[in-house]
Structure 1
Amino acid sequence: MTSQIEDKALLLLRQALENPKADFRCGQWEAIEELLRRSRLLVVQRTGWGKSLVYFLATRLLRDKGAGCTLLISPLLALMRNQIAAAERIGVKAVTINSSNTDDWGVVQTQLLADEVDILLISPERLANDEFREKILLPLSKKIGLFVVDEAHCISDWGHDFRPDYKRIVRVLQALPQNIPALATTATANNRVVDDIIAQLGSQLQVSRGALTRQSLHLQNIKIPSPAARMAWLAEQLPNLHGSGIIYTLTVRDSQRVADWLVTQGINAASYHSDLESDLREGLEEQLIKNEIKVLVATTALGMGFDKPDLEFVIHYQRPGSVVHYYQQVGRAGRAVEKAYGILLNGEEDDEITNYFINTAFPPEVHTQQVLNALNQAKDGYSIPQLEQQLNLSRGQIDKVLKLLSLDSPAPVTKQGSKWYTTPINYQIDTDKITKLTKIRYQEQDRMREYMQTQECLMSFLATELDDPNPAACGKCANCLGKALLPENCSFELVNKAIQFLRRSDQIIEPRKTWASQAFPNYQFSGRIKDNLKAESGRALSLWGDAGWGDLVKSGKYQDDYFDDALVEGVCEMIQRWQPQPYPSWVTCVPSLNRKQLVPDFAKRLADKLGLPFVPVVQKIRQTQLQKEMSNSYQQAQNLDGAFAINSWSGMNGSVFLVDDMVNSRWTFTVIAALLRRNQSGLVFPVALALNTLGQGN
């Protein structure tokens, strides 16, 4: 009987892959067989091994035996289009319930309850939705035939990609009958994470583990500290690489900047990150899959779940924070080609970015205590906007605290409607666990530094770190061969071009459109910002800390107390490119009581260079806290209420450049622009030396 079922499964496999000669990979049929025996199984196999085929084929075979539908929980619904198409080829009807198809919920619910659906795909966040739990999950739980957790390392807070909403999965599985088969899959789990998954999903969980080495990957590490030199290297090497690939960056900012640079060098590139609309991301994925684009410059948003078997290269513009992250990303390449490159570049900014991610991964104990204290003192709970008014914490920090608290069992907070309340729980923060996790993250970062420097086989190093039972030298990496796979240097001409590109990367300062509620009792600002009070679209010369002007801006602000004349030249050139209209007839600046000359001196030199009068009409009439110490929009806005006054002058009605050194929240520009317009100035065009995305500006 088993052989008949295996034969049937093999036919289905070939049907799904549209390949009449396809065969099971080592361990695939065995995993399916365990699920047919109603076992609970953790499959740890390299990317591209075919984990999705295991649960789609098991679903088809279980459904044929009369089982209920499969419930698949995955963080990758947007990246599962290829897998769903394969499922449809074997007659598996897959549906999804997510925030983008709420109009279809009724139809899907009817189909599910009528047993007309083979597999329901949801994200772990959907489990937090009360309507979904009551109307769909509860009735469906009595009929589930197979329970699947995709990317199961997200369950483990010891893993590199922990997602708090995955905590809910454990509770759902515990509530299901023990005879329901369950499958957890991941490509990136070391022994520590595997042990934690077993501890959470139950000791009866069996583990199927395969070799992680990818034969086609040719690995090389290249240390190029300067961002401009790395950009030049990419522009020089990409045209020499066959096919298409991915360049990974650590930040959205770098994804956009590197892609823009490559386009200027005639390379068909695009930026891919989580801030893009889903249909735009889907279009970019299709272009890459069809080789209609040379390279996507992506953040980790293009990570788990993306499948392009003939991807020829993965290049890292910066060093990832852990070996697990790196293996997962570089493993996108070379699934169905004989030779693919995995090139790791290493920059001077890598540690700073990774440290930021490590230090913000968990809310500090003081944040948690502040949120709990505020909710304890509330007469009728607080909404998140109300908490922003009470606490000098960003919305992201407040959200993070509330999410982690709400997932504790028992939870010390509960949400009713839009408001949060405390529960009668004596809550103790697990500081020991957070300390241990943070220490592990720093150790992982250390191991990536060692990987960058190692002389041993690069593939063997990765496999050993991921606890592969049989790591072996690949014989194909730069270390095994004793020579570079790709050149490590690039032309000085291209580096200079990249520096000039970075120095022309003007940043748009978008005007704010709405006043922060209840933040301006003195100025009486509220509601939408009227057109006659609104700042115009402005410009910043650079991004804070970037490779173009970053060093000059930083040294001028924090070392020299004087901005170099080269920055005056740079801003003049930016204004010539920009050409705001009607063109300003005078220049003023944002004042400071702490450093009275720094910005006015720069603004005066800029005005002289532009041939315009500098008129310091803005007065600071009370001391404020540093804007960079204000953590949310309400606090930033309220900090400025009543802080400035305007002195009129005879040329007031002309358009004006309003100059500052740094901009982050835009509230300083917004408030002063409104005050200038109230005092009959013309249009106000903000100008800054640097736009900062990490909270160092006004």
Structure 2
Amino acid sequence: MTDTTQDRAAVRERAEAVLRRLAGEHAVLREDQWRAIEALTVDRRRVLCVQRTGWGKSAVYFVATALLRADARTGPTVIVSPLLALMRNQVEAAARAGIRARTINSANLDEWSLIEAEVRAGEVDVLLISPERLNNPDFRDNVLPGLASSTGLLVVDEAHCVSDWGHDFRPDYRRLRTFLAGLPSHTPVLATTATANARVTADVADQLGEGETLVLRGPLDRDSLRLAVLRLDDPAHRLAWLADHLDRLPGSGIVYTLTVAAATETAEFLRSRGFAVASYTGQVEDTERRAAEQDLLDNKIKALVATSALGMGFDKPDLGFVVHLGAPPSPIAYYQQVGRAGRAVEHAEVVLLPGREDAAIWRYFASLAFPPEDQVRSVLAQLSADRPLSTQALEPLVDLRRTRLELMLKVLDVDGAVRRTRGGWLATGEPWTYDTVRLRRVAEARATEQQTMIGYADTSDCRMEFLRRCLDDPEAVPCGRCDNCAGPLFDAEISSASLAAADAFLGRPGVVIAPKKMWPTGLAAVGVSLKGKIPPSEQIEPGRSVGRLSDLGWGGRLRSVVSPESADASIPDDLAAAVVEVLKSWAHGEDAWQQRPAAVVAVGSQRRPQLVHSLAEHIARVGRLPLLGALTSDAAGETTARGNSAQRVRALHDAFTVPADVSAALAGVTGPILLVDDLVDSGWTMTLAGRALRRAGADAVLPLSLAVAG
């Protein structure tokens, strides 16, 4: 394209015409939208747009694509996008502008060959790919080089994910370095995000490379959002408030929770109160998530009750409210989530209901960050340069769970210490240094963000201004709309009926402990000769627990008793009573035990022997059952860091001994043994302790614990 003022004016006219096809006949480009399009199409520059949700970042790359593709020599636009929901929305939006868009992701493997052929034939204007595709061996080695060499425009959506200073860092995004390095000279690149402070912006701009990146930062005010915070006593009060006020919230919206268990419980409670809601978490099947998304888009339900699995990419312009049951660990993450609301409506309500348990949940997720150096070195030591190991084969050799191991390997891949191949992972032999200083700084930044989020909830100043300052918005001023500026729109009043219903709902004790049926794979690699199906004669039966540590109802109470910081003591009266209720429902419920327990045995606890012994005594006394004693153990078991199943079994497979007096007593017992412990984490302690009892002659083993982790 030529470079005269007249020619640039003509380009803008063409850009406006494309925008009208995309957004309607009265649509007009914002000034920064035009500056970005001009830089991409005329100057072939690299651009970073940091603009609020709803500003129109997608319009920039669709308009730029239409202009660039008008030049027959320009290849397709490649959009790296983090979520399938965003991809589906983008394909539909592109079609409105006459742009042919296709997507390559894990959900359409059978279409890859056809789509790649269409790209080579020049029949695709926009190709959307997930960041995970960038390091899929086949895609990286066979598709990516040709794609990079032919790309007319590269778009990095949700670009804050590139930076480990960002609130949602994703190692796969770092593979963009390879993509960028393969681009022809002067290929334009656009990175977009709504949630980047000054440090993240500088980091992303630096990673885009190739000279000076044009950074376009706009004001981050969302004049349709009315922010509010309400402090309520406990989870029951928060659920009751939601039940009393959900109908008052405009339109349909999202209720965010911090954990999967909380999302599931909240959705169940609201349905019991007559509301049409659906839960949306990473544990819900993709088809169910899609159906739930569509129901919300079509206003068939009042709300999705969701974890952060529903975040970037969900596009419902008329979303009327966002409520948080529990605060996210970062004001930047919070701004990103509430930004889903109010994009095409005059007013949207945003309410935060923080809880005392929020900080404990933040600490738990922080503990799953990049592993310490000794664990990383142990992984590197297992890899060779010539024989790839799959993640599945590597997992038993190191004490890391699958998701954490994969995250670590992706970072090591980006750092050049390992390489992913079709058969798994190889060591590159390149020198690698554990970046203690940077990891400490990132951890400190996360801790600061958590304190800042507490400050947001406590501030008496403007809440929108507070969030904008967290994002280093130089134009941040009081909004005049939030509860601190204009007075609260909602009060903390709760009806006695809703509170009673919430108390009853959350007060129901009882969670099923699912028995293990299969040994973990790869045990031979760690010297354990167990594999395949656990013999039925050595299996335990389905069991029961009072609740999960992450439950809204019993979670906080259970954490106060079984957390690592809790002192060992006899079982408190309220939990003892809850255990009795669990046993009653277990005896008479739909999935009741097949036969009443005949005796009680305790797991010999090294963590809390007094708690476990008093629990076993209480059950025996109330149930009028003989207490046969306790198993002995010579392993720390689940007091070690939460690692993978193979390592748990390695530590525990021969650790439990049935004392002679317990073994002798078993000989006189006909019926199941109730096996009692305080906490079920991985589930292997109960499995292997129960196996020892079965091998000593127990007819059946029914596991019972105070708590289940997770």
TM-score by length of 1: 0.92
Q: Give the Cα separation in 1 of the matches to 2:386 and 2:61.
A: 50
Q: 2:638 is matched by which residue type in structure 1? A: Q
Cα pair 1:48 1:335 within 8 Å, conserved = yes
Asked if 1:139 corresponds to 2:156, the answer is no
Asked if 1:290 corresponds to 2:307, the answer is no
Q: Give the Cα separation in 2 of the matches to 1:35 and 1:471.
A: 29
Asked if 1:562 corresponds to 2:573, the answer is no
CA-to-aligned-CA distance 1:171-195 (integer Å, 9 cap, x gap): 3112212221111111111221111
Asked if 1:510 corresponds to 2:527, the answer is no
Q: 1:464 is matched by which residue type in structure 2? A: R
Cα pair 1:653 1:680 within 8 Å, conserved = no
Cα pair 2:171 2:407 within 8 Å, conserved = no
Cα pair 1:586 1:615 within 8 Å, conserved = no
Partner in structure 1 of residue 364 of structure 2: 356
Cα pair 1:12 1:90 within 8 Å, conserved = yes
CA-to-aligned-CA distance 1:290-312 (integer Å, 9 cap, x gap): 11111111111111111111111
**Cα distance 1:2–1:429, how it changes in 2: closer, same or farther (>3 A)?**
same
**Cα distance 1:414–1:241, how it changes in 2: closer, same or farther (>3 A)?**
closer
Partner in structure 2 of residue 590 of structure 1: 602
How far the C-alpha of 1:245 sits from its partner, in A, is 1.0
Q: Give the Cα separation in 2 of the matches to 1:461 and 1:606.
A: 52
**Cα distance 1:600–1:584, how it changes in 2: closer, same or farther (>3 A)?**
farther
Secondary structure of 1:142's match? helix
Asked if 1:671 corresponds to 2:671, the answer is no
Q: 1:666 is matched by which residue type in structure 2? A: G
How far the C-alpha of 1:280 sits from its partner, in A, is 1.3
Asked if 1:640 corresponds to 2:656, the answer is no
**Cα distance 1:171–1:490, how it changes in 2: closer, same or farther (>3 A)?**
same
**Cα distance 1:473–1:552, how it changes in 2: closer, same or farther (>3 A)?**
closer
Q: Give the Cα separation in 1 of the matches to 2:518 and 2:87.
A: 38
Asked if 1:9 corresponds to 2:15, the answer is yes
Partner in structure 2 of residue 696 of structure 1: none
How far the C-alpha of 1:556 sits from its partner, in A, is 5.2
Cα pair 1:500 1:548 within 8 Å, conserved = no
Secondary structure of 1:106's match? helix
**Cα distance 1:195–1:511, how it changes in 2: closer, same or farther (>3 A)?**
same
User: In structure 2, which of residues 539, 550, 554 is the aligned counterpart of residue 534 of structure 1?
Assistant: 539
Asked if 1:422 corresponds to 2:427, the answer is yes
Asked if 1:36 corresponds to 2:41, the answer is yes
Partner in structure 1 of residue 637 of structure 2: 626
Q: Give the Cα separation in 1 of the matches to 2:110 and 2:393.
A: 31
Partner in structure 2 of residue 400 of structure 1: 407
CA-to-aligned-CA distance 1:219-272 (integer Å, 9 cap, x gap): 112223522222222122112222111111222222222222222222222221
Q: 1:318 is matched by which residue type in structure 2? A: G
Moved more, 592-601 or 68-77: 592-601
Q: 1:49 is matched by which residue type in structure 2? A: W
Q: Give the Cα separation in 2 of the matches to 1:105 and 1:388.
A: 30
User: In structure 1, which of residues 439, 443, 451 is the aligned counterpart of residue 448 of structure 2?
Assistant: 443
Cα pair 1:365 1:429 within 8 Å, conserved = yes
Q: 1:335 is matched by which residue type in structure 2? A: R
Q: Give the Cα separation in 2 of the matches to 1:674 and 1:553.
A: 27
How far the C-alpha of 1:6 sits from its partner, in A, is 3.7
Partner in structure 2 of residue 660 of structure 1: 677
Partner in structure 1 of residue 137 of structure 2: 130
Partner in structure 1 of residue 491 of structure 2: 487
Stretches of structure 2 lacking an aligned partner (at least 5 in a row):
1-6
Asked if 1:212 corresponds to 2:212, the answer is no
Q: Give the Cα separation in 1 of the matches to 2:253 and 2:557.
A: 35
Cα pair 1:367 1:401 within 8 Å, conserved = no
> 1:150-165 residue pairs with structure 2 within 5 A?
150-165=157-172
**Cα distance 1:336–1:320, how it changes in 2: closer, same or farther (>3 A)?**
same
How far the C-alpha of 1:154 sits from its partner, in A, is 1.1
Cα pair 1:71 1:120 within 8 Å, conserved = yes
How far the C-alpha of 1:680 sits from its partner, in A, is 5.0
Q: Give the Cα separation in 2 of the matches to 1:634 and 1:488.
A: 49
Cα pair 2:50 2:195 within 8 Å, conserved = yes
Q: 2:536 is matched by which residue type in structure 1? A: D
Q: Give the Cα separation in 1 of the matches to 2:159 and 2:70.
A: 27
How far the C-alpha of 1:525 sits from its partner, in A, is 4.0
Secondary structure of 1:582's match? coil
Cα pair 1:508 1:540 within 8 Å, conserved = yes
Partner in structure 1 of residue 289 of structure 2: 281
Partner in structure 1 of residue 626 of structure 2: 614
Q: Give the Cα separation in 1 of the matches to 2:556 and 2:193.
A: 42
Stretches of structure 1 lacking an aligned partner (at least 5 in a row):
694-698
Asked if 1:543 corresponds to 2:548, the answer is yes
Q: 1:515 is matched by which residue type in structure 2? A: W
How far the C-alpha of 1:576 sits from its partner, in A, is 3.1
Q: Give the Cα separation in 2 of the matches to 1:161 and 1:53.
A: 24
Q: Give the Cα separation in 2 of the matches to 1:348 and 1:295.
A: 24
Number of aligned residues: 686
Secondary structure of 1:219's match? strand
Partner in structure 2 of residue 497 of structure 1: 501
Q: Give the Cα separation in 1 of the matches to 2:373 and 2:263.
A: 33
How far the C-alpha of 1:277 sits from its partner, in A, is 2.0
Q: 1:216 is matched by which residue type in structure 2? A: S
Secondary structure of 1:616's match? strand
Asked if 1:47 corresponds to 2:63, the answer is no
Secondary structure of 1:494's match? helix
CA-to-aligned-CA distance 1:602-640 (integer Å, 9 cap, x gap): 2342244334x23427632x4111313052211211222
Secondary structure of 2:309's match? coil
Cα pair 2:616 2:627 within 8 Å, conserved = no
Cα pair 1:553 1:563 within 8 Å, conserved = no
**Cα distance 1:116–1:295, how it changes in 2: closer, same or farther (>3 A)?**
same
Secondary structure of 2:536's match? coil
Please give the root-mean-square deviation of Cα atoms over the aligned residues, in Å.
2.6
Secondary structure of 2:677's match? strand
Cα pair 1:522 1:642 within 8 Å, conserved = no
Q: Give the Cα separation in 2 of the matches to 1:238 and 1:139.
A: 52
Percent identity reads: 42
Partner in structure 1 of residue 26 of structure 2: 21
Cα pair 2:137 2:422 within 8 Å, conserved = no
How far the C-alpha of 1:4 sits from its partner, in A, is 4.8
CA-to-aligned-CA distance 1:63-118 (integer Å, 9 cap, x gap): 12212111111112333322211211222111111222222121112111111111
User: In structure 1, which of residues 79, 82, 88 is the aligned counterpart of residue 89 of structure 2?
Assistant: 82
Partner in structure 1 of residue 4 of structure 2: none
TM-score by length of 2: 0.90
Asked if 1:241 corresponds to 2:249, the answer is yes
**Cα distance 1:136–1:396, how it changes in 2: closer, same or farther (>3 A)?**
closer
Cα pair 2:278 2:305 within 8 Å, conserved = yes
How far the C-alpha of 1:600 sits from its partner, in A, is 3.9
User: In structure 1, which of residues 685, 691, 697 is the aligned counterpart of residue 708 of structure 2?
Assistant: 691
